[in-house]
Structure 1
Amino acid sequence: MIPSPAYRQNSQAAEFSPGERSQALFERARGVFPDGTTRITIDRDPFPRYVLRGEGAYLIDVDGRRFLDLNANFTTLIHGHAFEPVIAAVERQMRNGTCFANPTQAEVELASLLCERVPRLERIRFVNTGTEAVMFAIKAARAFTGRPCIAKIEGAYHGAYDWVEVAQASAPENWGAPDRPAATGYYHGMPASVRDDVVVLRFNDAGAARDLLSRRAGEIAAVLIDPMPSRAGLVAPEPEFLSAVQETARQHGILVISDEVLNFRQDYRGASARYGLEPDLFALGKIIGGGFPIGAVGGPREIMAVFDACHGRPLLPQGGTFSANPISMVAGHAAMTALDQAAFARLEALGSNLRKRLEDAISRAGAPLSITGAASLFRIHPKPTPPREFREAYCTPAQANINNEMSRFFARQGIILPSGAAACLSTPIGEPEIDAIASAFEAFLAENSALIEETL
């Protein structure tokens, strides 16, 4: 079913209001949370929309309004909300217990499924979040190489570990020279020693990557790369760049970590296989948990041996009270089993169709916007040319306002488009939903042409 418009049209205020009940809940929340929420990533305009329940590709807010959900909890819910196989698996497990100090068969089953699918993923450890997965991948690289430093991509998001937050929020006033990106801090008080241990690379700059990795090769344990960094533009990797990173890393004994917490949804075998990257370690999360908290670090057996405690204290001890908890394991197994090659092929076709329709709408309108993304992911840029890397994707305040206006417009059409205009599709979505998204975008371009031209 195509969503009906979620907002009343009788006043400008009503059009933009997330709802009276949401507003009341936010007022209560401000009494118990520092800013009224528990995640900085929550969209608020001017306050968050509170959700009551989800149904497939749709969610219903506490004011009773129904929206097509293109956020899917930041790309996690690849099967949408309340996916029946996950519900059935979790209900069975709940009756048997939710967590134990002992291992369960469920963790072996999910680990086996993942190792069978992904090239070079021979051994795996489960943790609770994508942040933990990246953190332990970096620690594993340090333990294996004996080196302290890492290299990472400017603007790329990898969770809430100090070293990976370096240069995550760089801006024109501090990001440094094109061939020497600055190791900028992310939060007030970040130790200078953390920034000193991070080499910052620009995405798709092969020559600079070779040079910067070689300059500090003896210190660098790993280069951390998201094959298509979302916050850095959701831009496709150029083969020359991936080759430069991988060849230089191999030459100097630097491990390559592929952060596929988000982009594992791009292919049956993952994003690295899709783009020809052969990483030494993987960080996984989001879709592999079926909507429950999860993370995983994995790779070839010789590197993953740093976790091996069979003969005493390992090079890298790793635990976690809820790591490999059976609820996440059975939910993840149900979700991933349903994500067969046919499901990925269908999402690929839907995504390609939608991106083409958005591009065609831009062309017909002569609008200075562009589209990036792959598989079930897409992003709308308030720029006439698709960016190749973070600095080109960076939005000025005026450009960011275009995205905010677009998010508001989509909400009035009954569609949740994140304020950054980076979004995803899920398996419950079909051609009617693709039509609704494309139609909403065409209407936005038509009704806001003057604002777009004036701003861009």
Structure 2
Amino acid sequence: MGDVVYPDLNSRSAKLYERGRLVMPGGNSRVGVMFEPYPLYAASGKGCRVIDVDGTERIDFVNNWSSLIHGHGNPAVLAALAEQSQKLLAVGMPTEVEIELAELLCDRVPGIEQIRFSNSGSEGVLMALRAARAFTGRAKIAKVEGAYHGNADSIEVSVAPSPKSFGSPTAPASVAATEGLTESVLRDTIVLPFNDVDATRELIVLHSADLAAVVIDPVVSRMGFVEATPAYLQMIREVTLELGIVLIFDEVFSFRTGYHGVQGRYGITPDLTALGKVIGGGLPVGATGGSAEIMSVFDQTLKPLRVEHGGTYNANPMTMAAGLASMIQMTPEAYTRLDALGERARSGLRDAIADAGLPGKVYGCASMVSLIFSNEPFS
């Protein structure tokens, strides 16, 4: 097969899309993979390259939304999966490899004394929110306007609101990011203005009697990997400590910014941390970790059990093996190399945009890169 120019309605990808639409709404199971007039269907991948079903090879800048931090077909991960597959694919018992990955993450991440595994970053955030509510006895949570933290009802609020629904710049409105959310969700989710130190502090203090948690991704993915300012993060840490509010870092994306995670990068330790993506070696994974005091709400040896956390595939041994093999390779030197590659990509894109005279801007930090085109002025 040779290269196929996109779009080509006679291509295999186009035909697979039509076939998929007969049995799946939208033709697939992930909204993020859809493009008009049809998505490209993958066949294989190796390293940083992916080949579609028509035989066209492309550089994969997505890497399954960063979960494949080593690229496709990493030899160590494949070897770990091959070995584990001969022992157990899944089992209704704990395994040693689950402890090994937990030990690695507890050792590396400042804010994680104990951890539990689930199956997605969304679940990692969901269980962190539930733990915070159980620990504090409060109902409300606060999040930053424009930030995405997964698909749990209580957090899919004000992810990408329109200018018509923004509300006040200093007190953003709680806007449903999808249909199917109840009014009670919007009432219990306080929206904070990103990087506005004074306004955010006022909102947290105003709602403090009812506020269980503040959740933030210090490098906001849906804004194009824009960083929170050190002053903003430090203020949130100080005011949450003062008022007994649980601070949750969503590091599902941003954990890749350093050996000790994004919290190590900024030197600010949250109470709970949600993880996913890179810690699974490319397999489905999520995790919730934090102080032993708060994590005790999951301890089934304490009676009564305060927060039930179960799941058929939680800490699946295949995922644990792949994740351990992946994370062992993520040495401080590996992060230094990744950061250098990220800066090379950002610098090269900026030069290319300038040379072409295009209205674009490049954002990001460490190994994360975002490219935005707009005819409107950038602020």
Alignment-derived partner of residue 55 in structure 2: 64
Of residues 345, 352, 361 in structure 1, which corresponds to 2:336? 345
The alpha-carbon deviation at position 232 of structure 1 amounts to: 2.3
- What letter is aligned with 2:13? S
Q: Do residues 266 (structure 1) and 241 (structure 2) align? A: no
Alignment-derived partner of residue 334 in structure 1: 325
Q: Do residues 152 (structure 1) and 152 (structure 2) align? A: no
Q: Distance in 1 between matches of 2:10 and 2:246?
A: 49
Give me the identity figure in percent.
44
- Could you say if the C-alpha distance between residues 23 and 78 of structure 1 is closer, same or farther in structure 2, counting changes exceeding 3 Å? same
The alpha-carbon deviation at position 365 of structure 1 amounts to: 4.2
Question: Which one is further off, 15-24 or 222-231?
Answer: 15-24
Q: Distance in 2 between matches of 1:273 and 1:385?
A: 35
- In the alignment, is the contact (CA less than 8 A) between 1:18 and 1:48 conserved in 2? no
- In the alignment, is the contact (CA less than 8 A) between 1:131 and 1:161 conserved in 2? yes
- What letter is aligned with 2:229? E
- Could you say if the C-alpha distance between residues 142 and 15 of structure 1 is closer, same or farther in structure 2, counting changes exceeding 3 Å? closer
Pairing 1:267-346 to 2, within 5 Å after superposition = 267-346=258-337
Alignment-derived partner of residue 218 in structure 2: 227
Alignment-derived partner of residue 73 in structure 2: 82
- Could you say if the C-alpha distance between residues 136 and 87 of structure 1 is closer, same or farther in structure 2, counting changes exceeding 3 Å? same
The alpha-carbon deviation at position 310 of structure 1 amounts to: 1.3
The alpha-carbon deviation at position 311 of structure 1 amounts to: 2.9
Q: Distance in 2 between matches of 1:141 and 1:93?
A: 35
Alignment-derived partner of residue 42 in structure 2: 51
SS at match of 2:54: coil
Alignment-derived partner of residue 217 in structure 1: 208
- In the alignment, is the contact (CA less than 8 A) between 2:9 and 2:15 conserved in 1? no
Of residues 343, 347, 352 in structure 2, which corresponds to 1:356? 347
1:270-297 deviation per Cα after TM superposition (whole angstroms, max 9, x unaligned): 0111123210000000000001011000
SS at match of 1:292: coil
SS at match of 2:68: coil
- What letter is aligned with 2:213? A
Unaligned runs of 5+ in 1: 1-5, 9-13, 393-456
The alpha-carbon deviation at position 19 of structure 1 amounts to: 6.4
Of residues 20, 32, 38 in structure 2, which corresponds to 1:29? 20
Q: Distance in 1 between matches of 2:377 and 2:78?
A: 40
SS at match of 2:220: coil
SS at match of 1:381: strand
Of residues 92, 96, 102 in structure 2, which corresponds to 1:105? 96
SS at match of 2:45: strand
- In the alignment, is the contact (CA less than 8 A) between 1:7 and 1:15 conserved in 2? no
Alignment-derived partner of residue 188 in structure 2: 197
Q: Distance in 1 between matches of 2:267 and 2:328?
A: 24
Of residues 152, 163, 184 in structure 2, which corresponds to 1:161? 152
Alignment-derived partner of residue 363 in structure 2: 372
Q: Distance in 2 between matches of 1:48 and 1:324?
A: 32
Alignment-derived partner of residue 126 in structure 1: 117
Q: Distance in 1 between matches of 2:294 and 2:156?
A: 24
The alpha-carbon deviation at position 131 of structure 1 amounts to: 0.7
Of residues 87, 105, 113 in structure 2, which corresponds to 1:114? 105
- Could you say if the C-alpha distance between residues 24 and 71 of structure 1 is closer, same or farther in structure 2, counting changes exceeding 3 Å? same
Q: Please report the RMSD computed on the Cα atoms of aligned residues, expressed in angstroms.
A: 1.7
Q: Do residues 175 (structure 1) and 150 (structure 2) align? A: no
The alpha-carbon deviation at position 362 of structure 1 amounts to: 3.2
Q: Distance in 2 between matches of 1:23 and 1:362?
A: 31
- What letter is aligned with 2:318? I
1:300-339 deviation per Cα after TM superposition (whole angstroms, max 9, x unaligned): 1111111111133321111111100100000000000011
- In the alignment, is the contact (CA less than 8 A) between 1:174 and 1:184 conserved in 2? yes
Unaligned runs of 5+ in 2: none
The alpha-carbon deviation at position 15 of structure 1 amounts to: 4.3
TM-score by length of 1: 0.80
- Could you say if the C-alpha distance between residues 385 and 46 of structure 1 is closer, same or farther in structure 2, counting changes exceeding 3 Å? closer
TM-score by length of 2: 0.96
Question: Which one is further off, 183-192 or 105-114?
Answer: 183-192
Alignment-derived partner of residue 177 in structure 2: 186
Of residues 16, 23, 29 in structure 2, which corresponds to 1:38? 29
The alpha-carbon deviation at position 247 of structure 1 amounts to: 1.4
The alpha-carbon deviation at position 7 of structure 1 amounts to: 4.8
Q: Distance in 2 between matches of 1:120 and 1:30?
A: 44
Alignment-derived partner of residue 372 in structure 2: 381
- In the alignment, is the contact (CA less than 8 A) between 2:108 and 2:260 conserved in 1? yes
